[in-house]
Amino acid sequence: MEIDSAANKERRAEEKYKMCCHDFRGVVYGSPIPQFVIGADHKVIYWNNALAKYSGIDEKEVVGTNGQWKAFYDQERPCLADILVDQKIELIPEFYEGKYTKSKLVADAYEAVDYFPGMKKWLFFTAAVMRDDSGEIIGAVETLEDITERKEAENRLKTKTEKLQKNEEKLIDAIKKLGEEKAKDDAILMSIGDGLVITDNSGGVLMMNNAFEKMIGWRADEITGRSLTEIMPCRDEKGDLVPYEKRFICRVIEGEETGTAVFYYTRKDGTCFPGAVTVASIDFGGEKLGAVSVIRDVTKEIELDRAKSEFISLASHQLRDAPTAIRWSTEALLSGIAGELGAKQREYIEEISRCNKSAIGLINDLLNVSRLDLGTFIVDTKKISLVEICESELKQFETLIKDKSLEIAKNFSSDVSEIEADPQLVQIIFQNLISNAIYYTPAKGRISLALSLSDADTALFSITDTGLGIPEEQKPKIFGRMFRASNAKKARAGGSGLGLYVIKQITAQVGWSIGFESKENEGTTFYVEIPLSGMPKRDGQTKLTKGLA
Amino acid sequence: MRKRQQGRKKFLANIIFQAWQPDNFTKMSIKKKILIIDDEVFLANVLSEQLAQEGYVCDIAGDGREGLEKSLSINPDLIILDLIMPVMDGFTMIERLRADNRGKKIPVIVLSNINNAKTVEEMRSKGAQEYLVKVNNSLTDIVAAVSKLLK
């Protein structure tokens, strides 16, 4: 092998350089990636086709000039390659603040990402210096990558992510709030004084509050999931066991309205207590998921009620004894059993008898009021004729009607058939209306009674008098308790002021209605609307007492 | 009190006197016997007098036990029974009366100032034929009820 001459060496180096240059140029120009090369003097050496196409600036325009900025900016400024050629690294932050990084792949290279408003493009660009064999910088190459689409996608993703994050925060907030609300609701439910139990739609226990646990003696964890009917048997007033199908928790699921009622419930220890229960179904999306029962222990109320009834019953018994003695004695005296009475004596005794009757009436009215208020009176229905009852009530006032020379007109239509109603209650209604008309109509007045059909299923009873009438301003009060119109007080001392209250209550409780029209000093008409269906039967403790005529 | 007792004596004397009137005496054998059981002496007296006027013979017992004894011994045609009484009340009296063969068929009118459906029902189920509330009935009403039951 012959030793290379110096000239040979040089020639080979030059060839190599030329080849390198050629190759480099070939690489740059053939690349689909836009790129340019500048020399140490910042003048453009290469400007590849991809860049020309991309920037719209032809190679010829820029090669040999330092106009590389024209592709990117609207005024002269250094590109990344320019800064690197000068090695003024400190200038990078000034021009690319927050947008650049040092390349991890190529030594001395920097990368940056920037938005170019003129092009409306996001570009990722890398610039690297080129050195000769001695290490001196001879130029720089800058490659560009259009990352607009990626960037936009990124941005879209970012916005989306941010939105999602915000939503998530909101959701977390909402969940937190819900949690707090639920905790609050739970706390409220738990601490309600009445027993509360929630059952599913087959009667299984889901949840209960503390009061309920205390009430029945079971702990929640002992009975959750079990059938409420088995754990807490329920009996009606007669002591009969109420099966699940009849219990409110089942009936509300069937869509029934159950209201409130008292049942007798059995505790864990076998003892019983009366509970007033109200049940509501839990409706969700049109489906009945279960039932909420609120149960109140009414032991004390029932005891109190019983004591009250006993007291009233006893008191009423005692209250009646004295008037009974007066009634029978005056009757005996007036019958002449104890000897003939003088006219004056008879007059006095008759007065005693009348006052006594009004006292008896008052006692009976008061007792009726207490029964009406308690809603405990019996409605014992049978077939009755309204006309017959009306006639017989009217008959009881015969003497008074004669004494006052009142004219009685009757217009009873034969269309009104018999109805199912409690005769005693109908008597109380008619008696009160008739006695009012008679007492408050001056002598020689006229009283008209009428009964007819007002429509296919309603009868209308009316009684019209030519009496005192009701003063306009007192009209709203006449059905009130113990109310007596000012002119009525003057006309008759004995009235209790309870008669209209009693009949208003009766009519309301049996589904009838009562009304009136009146003009002072001209007269009054009372109307009673009577459904031909009569009165619904009702069990209770006591019957109302009819007053004395 | 003393006056009242005197009044009662006089009253009883009157009844005896009336019963001994030759007119009534002849009817005596067909007269119906009524036993009034009531601790309210005055009420019992007024009632018995009224009934006597109508031609009945009356006896009075002041409480349920006395009433039961008399019912079983004198075998009245009808008993008028009050409810609230000392020693034995009307509820117990009628039970004992109906439990005894001698008392099974004697008609009983309860005459009390207790006025509630439960009690009426209870007394009827214990065998009372009629239940009248004292204050709501005149003496004439009671006599009518008695004669209706004794017809």
pLDDT in tens, A83-124: 988 888 888 888 888 888 888 887 788 998 888 877 788 888
Q: What is the pLDDT of residue A66?
A: 86
Model confidence pLDDT, tens digit, residues A186-204: 788 777 888 999 888 888 8
CA distances from B2 to A123, B5, B6, B7, B8 (A): 132, 5, 6, 8, 10
Judged by CB atoms closer than 8 Å, whether chains meet at B46 and A332 is answered as yes
Q: Indicate the pLDDT class of residue B23, thresholds 50, 70 and 90.
A: low
Q: What is the pLDDT of residue B3?
A: 57
Residue A5 falls within a domain, yes or no? Answer: no
Using alpha carbons, select from A89, A93, A101, A210 the residue that is nearest to residue A140.
A89
Residue A157 falls within a domain, yes or no? Answer: no
Using alpha carbons, select from A506, A544, A549 the residue that is nearest to residue A364.
A544
Q: Both A334 and A263 in a single domain?
A: no
- For the ranges A49-53, A237-241, A300-304, which has the lowest average pLDDT? A237-241
Beta bridge partners of B60: B36
- C-alpha–C-alpha distance, residues A137 and A22, integer Å: 19
Domain of residue A66 covers: 31-146
Residue A268 falls within a domain, yes or no? Answer: yes
Q: What is the pLDDT of residue A461?
A: 93
A543: tokens are 């019957």
Q: Both A451 and A547 in a single domain?
A: yes
Residue A186 falls within a domain, yes or no? Answer: no
Answer yes or no: is pLDDT of B82 > 80: yes
Which residues of chain B make contact with A381, given a CB cutoff of 8 A? none
- C-alpha–C-alpha distance, residues A407 and A412, integer Å: 16
Nearest to B139 among A313, A318, A332 (CB): A332
Q: Both A497 and A441 in a single domain?
A: yes
Q: Indicate the pLDDT class of residue B25, thresholds 50, 70 and 90.
A: very low
**Mean pLDDT across chain B, nearest whole number?**
83
Which residues of chain A from 515 to 544 reach within 8 Å of chain B, CB to CB? 540-543
Which residues of chain B make contact with A541, given a CB cutoff of 8 A? 116-118
Judged by CB atoms closer than 8 Å, whether chains meet at B133 and A367 is answered as no
Asked if B139 is an interface residue toward chain A (Cβ–Cβ < 8 A), one would say: yes
Residue A518 falls within a domain, yes or no? Answer: yes
B138: tokens are 């005149």
Q: What is the pLDDT of residue B117?
A: 73
Q: What is the mean predicted confidence (pLDDT) over A20-35?
A: 76
Q: What is the pLDDT of residue B34?
A: 93
* DSSP one-letter string for A195-211: EEEEEETTSBEEEE-HH
Q: Give this complex's ipTM.
A: 0.73
Q: Both A386 and A487 in a single domain?
A: yes
- C-alpha–C-alpha distance, residues A321 and A111, integer Å: 117
Residue A180 falls within a domain, yes or no? Answer: no
Answer yes or no: is pLDDT of A157 > 70: yes
Residue A52 falls within a domain, yes or no? Answer: yes
Answer yes or no: is pLDDT of A4 > 70: no
Q: Domain boundary residue among A92, A121, A146?
A: A146
- C-alpha–C-alpha distance, residues A306 and B118, integer Å: 14
Q: What is the pLDDT of residue A3?
A: 55
Judged by CB atoms closer than 8 Å, whether chains meet at A331 and B112 is answered as no
Q: Both A526 and A406 in a single domain?
A: yes
Q: Both A260 and A323 in a single domain?
A: no
Q: Indicate the pLDDT class of residue B28, thresholds 50, 70 and 90.
A: very low
Q: Indicate the pLDDT class of residue B81, thresholds 50, 70 and 90.
A: very high
Interface residue of A328, A357, A537, A548 to substitute, partner B, most B CBs within 10 Å: A328
CATH number of the domain where residue A476 is located? 3.30.565.10
- C-alpha–C-alpha distance, residues A474 and A466, integer Å: 18
**In Å, how far is A477's CA from the nearest CA of chain B?**
30
CA distances from A543 to A221, A316, A462 (A): 49, 14, 26
Q: Both A285 and A303 in a single domain?
A: no
Q: What is the pLDDT of residue B6?
A: 63
Q: What is the pLDDT of residue A246?
A: 86
Domains, in order of start, for chain B: 28-150 (3.40.50.2300)
**In Å, how far is B151's CA from the nearest CA of chain A?**
24
Answer yes or no: is pLDDT of A307 > 90: no
Nearest to B117 among A335, A378, A546 (CB): A378
Asked if B47 is an interface residue toward chain A (Cβ–Cβ < 8 A), one would say: yes
- C-alpha–C-alpha distance, residues B88 and B48, integer Å: 21
Q: Indicate the pLDDT class of residue B19, thresholds 50, 70 and 90.
A: low
Establish, for the pair of chains A and B, how many residue pairs have beta carbons separated by less than 8 Å: 74
Answer yes or no: is pLDDT of A308 > 80: no
- C-alpha–C-alpha distance, residues B26 and B20, integer Å: 9
Which residues of chain A from 297 to 326 reach within 8 Å of chain B, CB to CB? 313, 316-318, 320-321, 323-325
Answer yes or no: is pLDDT of B2 > 90: no
Beta carbons within 10 angstroms of residue B1's beta carbon: 5
Asked if B52 is an interface residue toward chain A (Cβ–Cβ < 8 A), one would say: no
**In Å, how far is A381's CA from the nearest CA of chain B?**
14
Beta bridge partners of A207: A198
Q: What is the mean predicted confidence (pLDDT) over A477-486?
A: 81
Judged by CB atoms closer than 8 Å, whether chains meet at A325 and B40 is answered as yes
Answer yes or no: is pLDDT of A342 > 80: yes
Q: Domain boundary residue among A146, A178, A203?
A: A146
Judged by CB atoms closer than 8 Å, whether chains meet at A332 and B133 is answered as no
Asked if A274 is an interface residue toward chain B (Cβ–Cβ < 8 A), one would say: no
Answer yes or no: is pLDDT of B109 > 90: yes
Model confidence pLDDT, tens digit, residues A249-272: 888 888 888 778 889 999 999 999
Model confidence pLDDT, tens digit, residues A375-431: 677 888 889 999 999 998 898 888 889 999 999 999 998 888 889 999 888 988 999
Answer yes or no: is pLDDT of A374 > 80: no
Residues A534 and A385 sit within 8 Å (Cβ to Cβ): no
Q: Domain boundary residue among A146, A181, A201?
A: A146
Q: What percent of chain A has pLDDT over 90?
A: 16
Q: What is the pLDDT of residue B18?
A: 62
Using alpha carbons, select from B58, B32, B149, B49 the residue that is nearest to residue A335.
B49
Residues A352 and A330 sit within 8 Å (Cβ to Cβ): yes
CATH number of the domain where residue A292 is located? 3.30.450.20
Q: Both A457 and A328 in a single domain?
A: no
Which residues of chain B make contact with A325, given a CB cutoff of 8 A? 40, 42-43, 46
Which residues of chain B make contact with A337, given a CB cutoff of 8 A? 49-50, 53
* DSSP one-letter string for A157-218: HHHHHHHHHHHHHHHHHHHHHHHHHHHHHHHHHHH-SSEEEEEETTSBEEEE-HHHHHHHS-
Q: Both A279 and A311 in a single domain?
A: no
**Mean pLDDT across chain A, nearest whole number?**
85
- For the ranges A225-229, A287-291, A307-311, B50-54, which has the lowest average pLDDT? A307-311
Q: What is the pLDDT of residue A444?
A: 92
Nearest to B139 among A318, A328, A545 (CB): A328
Judged by CB atoms closer than 8 Å, whether chains meet at A321 and B140 is answered as no
Answer yes or no: is pLDDT of A148 > 90: no
Q: What is the pLDDT of residue B35?
A: 93
- C-alpha–C-alpha distance, residues A297 and A50, integer Å: 91
- C-alpha–C-alpha distance, residues A266 and A288, integer Å: 27
Q: Both A293 and A303 in a single domain?
A: no
Count the domains in chain A: 4
Q: Indicate the pLDDT class of residue B36, thresholds 50, 70 and 90.
A: very high
Q: Both A388 and A535 in a single domain?
A: yes
Q: Both A528 and A405 in a single domain?
A: yes
Residue A337 falls within a domain, yes or no? Answer: yes
Q: Going by C-beta distance under 8 Å and a sequence separation of 6 or more, which residues neighbour residue A125?
A: A80, A111, A112, A113, A114, A142, A143, A144, A145
Judged by CB atoms closer than 8 Å, whether chains meet at A328 and B43 is answered as yes
Asked if B42 is an interface residue toward chain A (Cβ–Cβ < 8 A), one would say: yes
Model confidence pLDDT, tens digit, residues A45-56: 888 888 888 888
Answer yes or no: is pLDDT of B26 > 60: no
